[in-house]
Amino acid sequence: MASNVAVKLVSILPIPLLQPRLLDLVYCLSSLLSSHQVEVAIPCATALNLVISNLSATSEKAVIEALKETEISICIVRNIKNCGAQKIEYFVEMASLLSTILLRWPSSRFPVCNDVELMKIIANMHTRTDSSIKLVLLKLYTSLGIKISIFYLPLNKTKNISLLSSICCVNYLD
């Protein structure tokens, strides 16, 4: 599939070689991200994550504008809400891409944090035992700025510590 080729292309070639067509790649991958086929959406998320993670300072502004234009944060949130909890790999790739975008583009945090349905899905994912889920949740909570405010959730302190312990794989109750 083309999305798998894009992952290979982005992971093998250095970003400066992709520079002349980087925006075209970002626009294409962003539009394919909303595909209802998991086999297409996962590699697109992986490729976009690689692109965003390895951006140079000169190309960052143009790529961020392209992501803003394609409303990628809204698309990722919709993807997680529609099917994120069903497939672990899908959730991990979408949440990882979202956290990468939120770290690079802080102004997109507010609408994501205020999405109650998404926050419930993310909070419910901490019960999964898969280490990839725990790592992506830690990255996502950090990118949302929740790492400090986790103790102010409307749960009791023991549950909050338990939640943080399960995410970080550390026992804070001892």
What's CA 93's distance to the chain center, in Å? 6
Residue 155 has pLDDT above 60, yes or no: no
Q: Which of 26-30, 35-39, 162-166 has the lowest mean pLDDT?
A: 162-166
**Mean pLDDT, residues 91-113 taken together:** 89
**Mean pLDDT, residues 50-79 taken together:** 90
Query: pLDDT confidence of 17, banded at 50, 70, 90?
Result: confident
Residue 171 has pLDDT above 50, yes or no: no
Q: Which of 58, 59, 53, 31 is nearest to 44 (CA)?
A: 31
- Contact, 88 vs 132, CB < 8 A? yes
Residue 15 has pLDDT above 80, yes or no: no
| Global pTM exceeds 0.95 | no
Spatial separation of the C-alpha atoms in residues 128 and 82, rounded to whole Å: 18
Query: pLDDT confidence of 112, banded at 50, 70, 90?
Result: confident
Query: pLDDT confidence of 84, banded at 50, 70, 90?
Result: low
Give one DSSP letter per residue of 37-92, joined into a string: -HHHHHHHHHHHHHHHHT--HHHHHHHHHHHHHTTHHHHHHHHHHHHTTT-HHHHH
**Residues near 79 by beta carbon (within 8 Å), at least 6 away in sequence:** 33, 34, 41, 90, 94
Residue 152 has pLDDT above 50, yes or no: no
Looking at per-residue confidence, does 97 or 38 come out higher?
Answer: 97
**Mean pLDDT, residues 13-37 taken together:** 88
Domain limits, the chain: 2-128
Give the pLDDT of residue 129. Answer: 79
Rounded to 10 degrees, what is the CA torsion of 53, 59, 61, 63? -60
